Structure 1
Amino acid sequence: MGADRERSARRTSVRAVVYAICGAVVLGGCASMPDSGDLRDVESTPRQDTQVRVFAMPPQQDASATAIVQGFLEALTSDDPHYDTARKYLTTGAAKTWQPDAQAMVLANGPSIQTDSRSAGREDPDSITYMLGGGEVATVDAEQSYTPAEGPYSQKVHLTKDAKTGQWRIDSLPQGVVIGKSDFQRRYTSVDKYYFASDTSDETSGQPVAVADPVYVRSQVDAVTQVVRSLLNGPTTWLSPVVRSSFPTGTKLRKGVSGLTPDDRNRLTVPLNIKASKVGSGRCTEMATQLMFTLRNLTTTVDSVALEGAGGSPMCEVNEQQADTTAWRATTKRPGYLYYLDAKHRLVRMPTGSTGTTVVAVSGAFGTGTKPLRSVAVARDESTAAGVSSDGKALYVTSIVSDSELGAPVVSSQGATADDRLTKPSWDARGDLWVADRNPDRPQLYVLTHGSGRPLAVQIPELDGRIKDVRVAADGVRIALVVEKGGKQSLFIGRIERTRSDDQQEVSVHELRDATPGSEEVTAISWAGASQLVVVGRQKGGVQQTRYVQVDGSTLDEQAPAALTGVLAIAASENDRAPLVADSQDDGIIRLPSGAEWQKVVKDGSAPVYPG
């Protein structure tokens, strides 16, 4: 879980050729670049954990066309900031028009190289076409946004022999870079940029709510400067309709700035252009807060961020504590209690940090057991809870800190069975309550403002299937939906948009993104960080597994939870100090403290939840 929040260590790329004083030395594990011989794949090398910077070899004199293509592909896996060595494999014209940052195409293995059968047998001995092939895994676009991909990859690379020098060079190639999955995992790292929800504030504090926007940057190529530039460029297209940036439009790093590093006091100074020079102190603090949240997600060596305007004039400075008082983030809010239903279907709780098994019933109707419950959700201020009745027909909202009466249900379902009725509810930081009716005759997602009033039907134009489960992100602008169709369940992440028409609020979910490509079954989900979820499910032909996935569909290189079978429900907190908790068919309520094994809490319990 730690990779999603305040990441302190980054695995870096190792494969390449480095220059020694005595000459060029090829590091172990690198593919050689022969100038003759059979065509072969450019293999991805095994993972290694070393901090060596990676640089590529330039073309060898009189290298064959095959070696030129192989050398170029090797150069794409280097840490050369501007791909200058890779450009040496191109003609002058191709080097000028090639845009390596246009996209990164990630393949399951290194790209294969085959002679284009349509060019074989042609008379021109100074021209040849190769086909790069492989199985697509993902693309990273010009915004550095990751999108899973599936299907065959096939692109042409054309070479000509220079009439004067007699050297082969590439004169036509696809834009962007193509790279194997293992090399991508070595060379790139996922970082959450932070913006603010456009129309959301925390219900309790009134602070603006920070929203994570994950991107992938090259981990060994001035990553801090890359991330700062990416943040200033604005949110990714998918997230931009629902977030804002406090940086004025057109704000950039001052011309010529690179190699941003903190000083000996761990203060990072960020020089900005004239566009940012005239903002007020409050807005400047928000700008520095965005940078602070983002950079602490990349490295622990930044304790404060100082902004400079045009001419080097100081603007403002923010440390981590000040940033946390400026904006609300779920990852910094440790829940007070873990909640679950006991053997009598009453809502009980135990302190989050407790190592024991002592629990107490909450106050009010949910704690007395007058209305047996099937599932619950506790508001983030931990004063109110929503519960679905044991038959799944009714959703109730009541206080859990006072002895208030239960009252009438706020949502009801007419589904034929419990599994065709209401899903588990979910709360966001606004204090809004979400639930879906699984009734096949009238399936519908609802939201209740502040958990009360008339349920508002949420429109999902792209929904293809029936919602089986719902978890809204703390930020209130993203929602996780388990969608069932044809016996298969998939996890989708949607963007929540709120508009007003004739003084009435309209809520809709747009641009659903598959976060678990290839899944056959999704049993349980829970948000487990700013841009990460823990998912219990099964791939096609596989067994049930518990793993962490990013909202963009990528999986980080970190250890999955210890193996566990028969999981019925899972509970995680966005704050990583709270242990993972599960409802196991065999063992009841169990928890997984950091660095420990699964521990039994109670045999007769179900539906564990943290606030949210």
Structure 2
Amino acid sequence: MAADRRPTHRRTTRAVAVLGSAALLAGCASMPDSGDVSGVKASRQGDSQVRVYPVPPRENAEPAEIVEGFLEAMTGDDPGFATARKYLTKQAARTWKPEERTTVLSAAPVAQQSGTGPQPNGALGDPETLLYRLSGQKIATVDDRHAYQPVGSVTYGESIQLVQQRSADGKQQDWRIDALPQGLLLSESDFQRNYRSVNKYYFASGRHWVVADPVWIRKRQDPVTGMDFLTQTVEALLEGPTNWLKPAVDTRFPAGTELRKETTALTTDDRNTLKVPLNDKASAVGHEQCRKMAAQVLFTVGDLASTRVEQVELQRADGRSLCVFGEGQKSDFMADPTPGLREVPYYVDAAGKLAQLLPGARESVEPRHVYGPFGDGTAKVESVAVARDEKLAAAVSENGRSLRVASIESDNDLPEPLVTSRGSHPGNRLSAPSWDGRNDLWVADRNPAAPRLLVLRGGTGEPVTVHTPWLDSDVRIDELRLSEDGVRIALRLTRNGKTTLHIGRVERQGSGDSQKVSVVDIQSIAPRMESVTSVSWAGPSRLIVLGKQAGGVQQVRYLQTDGSASAAVIPGLNQVKSVAAASDERAPLVAAADDGIVRLQSGVNWQPMVEKGTSPVYPG
């Protein structure tokens, strides 16, 4: 059979049949750099929500058609990727492991013939192989633990090899793929069509509260395991935390705990109870440990809007009940167990006083100043953080030189500074502070002569220098924000004039005054953004980010802590300086612009609230 020597640049329509309907994938909103504050329509990026039904190779298919057919078949979800394997030789079909990893490209890979070579094993027929080069722009990888890792936009280039083999009837020789990279190769749109981001939950090391660990799960039945979406999610939880988060969290499931053999579908009963059958490894656990295991499951599946679960029942391998854990008990294991929605943000007014934005107001309002020296003008506040229990606030003043902590519940004198920077000018002094869920206060001293990250236990203790092996005179911490669970820290870092967004893991060793605190293994989570201006936590594993894509304009967008884009839509806004969100995703966003403080509530556009103001923050 003659080989088709022409390069292939687009998918063949013979390789796949599709069914589906159009849907919208939310992206981000663009914001001009000049002009008055005004709401604009959110931009949306359309993506056809189709289900791919791959078809096997036809007889006498040309090599290029085999390559394109296989690439299309990888985007489907037929059991065992059986159709995709039909494009492979028997040996390649046995050794190919699509579950090993997923490589995500910005667009569908381009396949182009790159060479020929002797055919292996002395096979009959045309004595040659064909090599095809697969190329594109790689933007992320997903490992076998479902963890997403963005890589910016780097050149992808791998080769696959085709050989000729006898057809089933022995009358001819068909081209088949004999060597290929392990895993799946998908475009970004195919990846988003097939996978969904979910949070698994584990316990902060040595603590009683849970931490979110985002992973990506197949939306429909997994081709390899045969599990439905809900069962895949529980199975991923049992596999343990992702490699990045693992040093800072613990699971309460005994080692080796799995779903009972051949479990592929989990469903809720008429009481919205999810029954989870486990293997023998979990049969001997005590009641309190079982409660924590069930809590991990309920927090995990409770985030799935497609499935309503009000309680979880863990079962022994023989079907007997281990324990039941309900929605009303979740506060036992939250970093912030305080009930109710906190929807009152704080900001610094034009006079440098700390004030609140009252909920429900639709027009400009008079500020309500807090009690104490930060609200009465004794200290001119420049940046601020409010403790999560809203009893204390930490404020930076004196041109970034001093950090003080004072009550905002009662009037009191101005306290002495807890931290003082010796930086030569305000930009090289103290950052805005941030509280974590342990009630510890964090701040960065940006003095290039002695850069340091500090933590004050309980918010008023002696400053302790955090171990930061990545921090030196060439790196500046522009902004820091601690997660509610205290295990992760979002960082805006500037190096060589470029400000980028990172997530760091907080590790603690020892206890009491001798405890050593470290921020390690920082990961770039917005590598495709050339600059980041503001960041705030907006839920267990989500951030609100103000920044600029390479070659683009300023945008406000949601971003997962693993670096993947969120689907939520945010209307655009002009001249934004900073944004803030609450841990509870139902609370409105707030932002500071040239003309004051504005607020975004669900279902409406941005609303002006205060004509003059800066540094909007929620507790934390």
Q: CA deviation at 1:331?
A: 11
Q: CA deviation at 1:481?
A: 0.9
1:168 is aligned to 175
**Residue type at the aligned position of 2:531:** E
Matched, 1:565 2:574: yes
Matches within 5 A, 1:304-319: 304-319=311-326
**Residue type at the aligned position of 2:332:** T
2:522 is aligned to 512
Matches within 5 A, 1:482-497: 482-497=492-507
1:147 is aligned to 149
Q: CA deviation at 1:558?
A: 2.9
Q: Secondary structure at the match of 2:325?
A: strand
Matched, 1:363 2:353: no
Unaligned residue ranges in structure 1 (runs of 5+): 1-34, 201-207
2:444 is aligned to 436
Matched, 1:460 2:468: yes
2:225 is aligned to none
Q: CA deviation at 1:335?
A: 1.8
1:203 is aligned to none
* 2-structure distance, mates of 1:406, 1:465: 33
1:11 is aligned to none
**Residue type at the aligned position of 1:178:** L
Matched, 1:296 2:302: yes
* 1-structure distance, mates of 2:196, 2:514: 42
Q: Secondary structure at the match of 1:288?
A: helix
* 2-structure distance, mates of 1:360, 1:137: 46
* 1-structure distance, mates of 2:284, 2:71: 46
**Residue type at the aligned position of 2:115:** S
**Residue type at the aligned position of 2:581:** A
Matched, 1:550 2:560: yes
RMSD: 2.4
**Which 10-residue stretch deviates more, 83-92 or 429-438?**
83-92
Going from structure 1 to structure 2, the CA distance change for 1:151 and 1:332 (only over 3 Å counts) comes to farther
1:262 aligns with one of 265, 268, 271: 268
Q: CA deviation at 1:484?
A: 0.6
For the Cα contact (< 8 Å) 2:106–2:136, is it kept in 1?
Answer: yes
* 2-structure distance, mates of 1:281, 1:178: 44
Matched, 1:194 2:201: yes
**Residue type at the aligned position of 1:294:** T
Identity %: 47
**Residue type at the aligned position of 1:235:** P
Going from structure 1 to structure 2, the CA distance change for 1:41 and 1:500 (only over 3 Å counts) comes to same
Unaligned residue ranges in structure 2 (runs of 5+): 13-17, 24-47, 222-227
* 2-structure distance, mates of 1:574, 1:41: 46
For the Cα contact (< 8 Å) 1:431–1:449, is it kept in 2?
Answer: yes
**Residue type at the aligned position of 2:550:** K
**Which 10-residue stretch deviates more, 316-325 or 488-497?**
316-325
**Residue type at the aligned position of 1:115:** Q
* 2-structure distance, mates of 1:294, 1:182: 25
1:181 is aligned to 188
Q: CA deviation at 1:594?
A: 0.8
Q: CA deviation at 1:41?
A: 3.1
2:257 is aligned to 251
**Which 10-residue stretch deviates more, 230-239 or 395-404?**
395-404
2:9 is aligned to 41
* 1-structure distance, mates of 2:75, 2:340: 39
Alignment TM-score, normalising by the size of structure 2: 0.87
**Which 10-residue stretch deviates more, 394-403 or 453-462?**
453-462
**Residue type at the aligned position of 1:248:** P
For the Cα contact (< 8 Å) 1:63–1:168, is it kept in 2?
Answer: yes
Going from structure 1 to structure 2, the CA distance change for 1:40 and 1:573 (only over 3 Å counts) comes to same
* 1-structure distance, mates of 2:369, 2:324: 46
2:160 aligns with one of 135, 139, 157: 157
Going from structure 1 to structure 2, the CA distance change for 1:228 and 1:448 (only over 3 Å counts) comes to same
Q: Secondary structure at the match of 2:91?
A: helix
Matched, 1:109 2:107: yes
2:92 is aligned to 94
2:131 aligns with one of 129, 132, 148: 129
**Residue type at the aligned position of 1:489:** T
For the Cα contact (< 8 Å) 2:344–2:358, is it kept in 1?
Answer: yes
Q: Secondary structure at the match of 1:237?
A: coil
1:28 is aligned to none
For the Cα contact (< 8 Å) 1:331–1:576, is it kept in 2?
Answer: no
1:281-311 residue CA offsets vs partner (Å, 9 max, x unmatched): 2211111111111112223432322111110
**Which 10-residue stretch deviates more, 43-52 or 149-158?**
43-52
1:410 aligns with one of 414, 418, 423: 418
* 2-structure distance, mates of 1:51, 1:289: 34
Matched, 1:528 2:538: yes
* 2-structure distance, mates of 1:43, 1:407: 68
**Residue type at the aligned position of 1:180:** S
* 1-structure distance, mates of 2:101, 2:72: 17
Q: Secondary structure at the match of 2:292?
A: helix
* 1-structure distance, mates of 2:183, 2:234: 22
User: Which one has more relative contact order, counting CA pairs under 8 Å at least 6 apart?
Assistant: 2
Q: Secondary structure at the match of 1:58?
A: coil
Q: CA deviation at 1:467?
A: 0.8
Alignment TM-score, normalising by the size of structure 1: 0.88
**Which 10-residue stretch deviates more, 548-557 or 111-120?**
111-120
Q: CA deviation at 1:551?
A: 1.1
1:578 is aligned to 587
